A and B are shown apart, each in its own frame.
Chain A
Amino acid sequence: MSHTHPEGPELTDSERAFRAEAREWLAAHNPGRLPSMDTDEGAALHRAWEATLAEGRWSVVAWPEQYGGREASLTEWVIFEEEYYLAGAPTRIAQNGISLLAPIIFEHGTPEQQERWLRPMTDGSLIWAQAWSEPEAGSDLAGIRSRAVRDDERGGWVLSGQKTWSSRAPFADRGFGLFRTDPEAARHRGLTYMTFPLDVPGITVRPVHQLDGDAGFAEIFFDDVFVPDADVLGGVGDGWRVAMSTAGNERGLSLRAPGRFMAAADRLLDLWAERGADAPHLRDRVVDAWIGAEAYRLYTWGTVDKLAGGGDMGADGSVNKLFWSELDLELHETALDLLGPEAELRGPGAPSGGSWVDDHLFSLAGPIYAGTNEIQRNIVAERILGLPRGENRRAGA
């Protein structure tokens, strides 16, 4: 595959060597596109791929060596992500665990929890489902109603209620989310960060089919599910603060390294070379999509610099999320427009095996998950631009 996005010019020799090693390993091991991870067959293949990644120590490059990582710097991590996407390697079934939960476990987990959960989530043997949303609480996490009631006798908590849009739940091993442990406390207070197994009595997982037809998420019903104290993450009643650091991760850098968009922009240019002559009116959109991916790459390096200098993402994560989610949509919509009437075909026989339409369907979710773009715009307007909060109009978090 051709790379139209130049590599950073100021990489050190060891960063270049890291890139070369990653590229070489991926070239030798990458299975390419796998069947959807939200199917029985696909989930098994994705788990196996996680195991292969772990064997090569590429599963969690930024983690400490004791948990299978390489202690890669932020720069190296971005380099790895670039190589990963440019190689067209599979999506990561372990992402919920690695990106969303692990930072919390590192920061708030007990040594025992770290020992029990971290290593298995790096090799595909422990796949996590995130369980943030509830039917009545979408982006408004403070509106969570699912409850955890104290059970002193057994030394733990009894969960009841319902979660929804729980990604990976149909094929995962455990879940994590917030539960209300103090119903009297104010919205943000009285929440506790719980983890729970998905295969115990009292838990019902009802797969929900997404626009792409796969059971990518599920409803989870909790009917007096016992969770021991050992499975509570962080302090009781401290769930909001604990969770917010993952929400920041999800909206910000960790979820969307630039490689994904750079690779899609490269594929779009290939498609333009093939089909552009029939659709000259799409030229500007092709160019703008590429420029957008390039802007995202450069912005990310700026963020890496800022974080390396001791800064934090803060509300910039919302700027980031707004940009990539809109860019992702536009990249894929442009590709579909280039494909013309064939764009609606899916599966074998479709152009590129239907990958453009599949990826487009995935991109449609971008402005919705990880905090809707409306919530993100409120955050940007209020926290970054300093516009006034209206009465009863709080910007999410």
Chain B
Amino acid sequence: MRFSLNDEQRSFASAIDGLLAGADVPAINRAWGAGDTAPGLALWGRLAELGVPALTVPEEAGGIGASPLDLVVAFELLGRHGVPGPWIESVAVAPLLLADTPHADLLEGLAEGTVRATLAVDGIAPYALDADAATHVFHVSPAGLAVAEAGEAMASVDPSRRLFPVTAGERTPLAEGALDRALDLAALATAAAQVGAADRMLRTAVEYVGQRRQFGRVIGEYQAVKHRLADVKVSLDFARPLVHGAALELEEKSPTAPRAVSAAKVFASETAHSAGRAALQMHGAIGYTLECDLSIWLLRSRALHGAWGTVAAHRARVLDHLTTAR
């Protein structure tokens, strides 16, 4: 399997990375959490200029019609920088679901970044993320897609995520297989964001232990510190191929693609978890505060652990595919 990024993907990645690195995303993230969504929405617009929300919108609807691997490239960076907002919902899920429904006219706006969709999905995503910052809210069940009304916001473990129960209106049926494919893409994007978060937490921890001194030494000199961070690095290096491999399988519509996506979600989420635990431990008490930027990724990765299919559910799906395929 060959999944090295091509030149185009690398330059797309470095454009997103450059934009986000210069945008003070931690401040935008905190503002978003405090209810000031304006800077986050402005960032949405700037990412739209790079084509991020247009990725999965088909070309004939004004989008890019990009591959799942392109999506993975973008979401790893959104995760690495801690960008707030309903990105997975709007970019990975909504375009697939809205196509071939009476709401298909929203696709162009989604691609442009002027439409931001969020949605709750029966059994897997019970609350719509950031419905207050979205322009359109939906509810999805196997019976179909419905415009929905958001109720009162509920808090998430991640202060930059607000979750809304929704009340669904009239349903329109979905295209055959659209829901399954959308959920796979959502899980894949989540896995990519988890890899990004893990990568960021590792870097943050490495930077911290390289300057923090205790007992007359930089703590990064201690083997106990080195070994824990090395283990995170190993896990991260093996998470990425699973995510990239799953993206290729989805693109090729391989029969084992759902299994590959679930495997990626499990491993990436566990990697983010261990990266978070390690980074927190390396930081000590300062890491246990909201004022430390680490909290952005630590709490986000915890939220994403259960988003778009819990890790336990994805594990079960992997085994189910393995045992029924034999």
A92 contacts chain B at the CB level, 8 A cutoff: no
Q: Which residues of chain B are near A287, meaning CB under 8 Å?
A: 266, 315-316, 318-319, 322
Indicate if A209 sits at the interface (CB-CB under 8 A): no
Q: Is the CB of B221 within 8 A of A393?
A: yes
Q: Could you tell me if B223 and A374 are in contact, using CB atoms closer than 8 angstroms?
A: yes
Of B120-128, B147-155, B231-239, the stretch lying at the interface with chain A is B231-239
Contact of A269 with B238 at beta-carbon distance under 8 Å, contacts A6-B256, A298-B1, A381-B227 already known: no
> A388, B221: Cβ atoms under 8 Å?
yes
Which of A184-192, A239-247, A300-308 forms part of the interface with chain B?
A300-308
A128 close to B (CB within 8 Å): no
- B135 interface residue (CB < 8 Å to A): no
Q: Given A6-B254, A6-B256, A298-B241, do A291 and B229 touch, yes or no (CB 8 Å)?
A: no
Within 8 A of A (CB), among B175-211: 202, 206, 209-210
Give the interface segment out of B37-45, B83-91, B164-172, B242-250.
B242-250
Q: Are A9 and B254 in contact (CB under 8 A)?
A: yes
Taking a contact as CB atoms under 8 Å apart, the answer to whether B234 and A10 are in contact is: no
What 1/0 flags go to A310-338 for Cβ under 8 Å of B?
Answer: 00000010010011000000000000000
B103 touches A (CB below 8 Å): no
Tell whether, in the assembled complex, residue B2 and residue A389 are in contact, meaning their CB atoms are under 8 Å apart: no
Asked if A2 lies at the interface with its beta carbon under 8 angstroms from chain B, I say yes
Q: Are A2 and B326 in contact (CB under 8 A)?
A: yes
Is B309 among interface residues, defined by CB-CB distance under 8 A?
no
Bound CA span A387–B312, Å:
35
Determine which of B210, B238, B266, B267 lies in contact with A387 in the assembled complex, contact meaning CB atoms within 8 Å: B210
Q: A123 to nearest B CB, angstroms?
A: 33
Chain B residues closer than 8 Å to A273, beta-carbon distance: 323, 326
Docked complex Cα distance between A378 and B312 (Å): 33
List of A residues within 8 angstroms of B244 by Cβ: 298, 302
Contact with B along A261-296 (1 / 0, CB 8 A): 000000001001100000000011011101110111
A25 within 8 A of B: no
The CB with the most chain A CB atoms within 10 A, among B218, B231, B252, B254, is that of B231
CA distance A16 to B234 in the complex (A): 31
A384-B233 contact given A2-B326, A295-B238, CB 8 Å threshold: yes
Asked if A235 is at the interface (CB within 8 A of a chain B CB), the reply is no
The reply to whether the CB of B4 lies closer than 8 angstroms to some CB of chain A is yes
Is B234 within 8 A of A385, CB to CB?
no
Docked-complex contact B256 and A295, CB < 8 angstroms = no
Most buried by B among A269, A306, A381, A384: A381
Q: Which of A125-159 contact B (CB under 8 A)?
A: none
Whether A393 contacts B223 by the Cβ 8 Å rule is yes
Whether A323 touches B233, Cβ cut-off 8 Å, given contacts A9-B252, A287-B315, A381-B227, is no
A152 to B218, CA, bound (A): 52
On whether the beta carbons of A290 and B322 are closer than 8 Å, the reply is yes
Q: Are B241 and A387 in contact (CB under 8 A)?
A: no
Q: A106 contacts the other chain (Cβ, under 8 Å)?
A: no
Given contacts A290-B318, A298-B242, contact A10 B1 (CB under 8 A): yes
Residues of A contacting B159 in the complex (Cβ-Cβ under 8 angstroms): none
A387 touches B220 (CB 8 A): yes
Enumerate chain A residues within 8 angstroms of B227, measured Cβ to Cβ.
374, 377-378, 381
Residue from the list A286, A288, A292, A388 in contact with B220, Cβ < 8 A: A388
Contact of A380 among B220, B230, B241, B322 (CB under 8 A): B230
Expressed in whole angstroms, the Cα–Cα distance for A275 and B109 within the complex equals: 54
Report the Cα distance A374→B231, complex, angstroms: 11
Contacts of B246-275 to chain A: CB distance below 8 A = 248-249, 252, 254, 256, 260, 263, 266-267
Given contacts A385-B206, A387-B221, contact A295 B229 (CB under 8 A): no
In this complex, which of B1, B2, B260 has the most chain A Cβ atoms within 10 angstroms of its Cβ? B1
User: A291: nearest residue on chain B (CB-CB)?
Assistant: B263
Residue of B at shortest CB range from A296? Answer: B238
Asked if A322 contacts B226 (CB within 8 A), the reply is no
CA distance A294 to B262 in the complex (A): 12
**Residue ID in chain B nearest A4 by CB atoms:** B322
Knowing A287-B266, A291-B263, A291-B267 touch, does A386 contact B242 (C-beta < 8 A)? Answer: no
State the Cβ distance, A395 to closest chain B Cβ, in Å: 9
B217 close to chain A: CB less than 8 A? yes
Q: Is the CB of A8 within 8 A of B223?
A: no
CB distance from A324 to the nearest CB of B (A): 10
Q: What 0/1 pattern do residues 63 to 80 of A give for CB contact below 8 A with B?
A: 000000000000000000
A238 to B225, CA, bound (A): 35
* A225 shortest CB reach to chain B, Å: 38
CB neighbours of B252 from chain A (8 A): 9
User: Does A111 count as interface, using CB distance less than 8 angstroms?
Assistant: no
CB neighbours of A288 from chain B (8 A): 266, 315
A sample of 28 cross-chain residue pairs with beta-carbon separation below 8 angstroms, ordered by A number, consists of A4-B322, A9-B1, A287-B316, A287-B318, A290-B318, A295-B267, A298-B1, A298-B3, A298-B244, A299-B237, A301-B1, A301-B3, A302-B4, A302-B244, A316-B237, A319-B237, A322-B230, A322-B234, A377-B226, A381-B230, A385-B206, A385-B229, A385-B230, A385-B233, A387-B210, A388-B210, A391-B221, A393-B221
| A294-B242, A302-B4 known, 4 other contacts, Cβ within 8 Å | A291-B242, A374-B223, A385-B233, A387-B209
Q: Which 3 A-B pairs have the closest CB atoms?
A: A381-B226, A298-B241, A390-B221
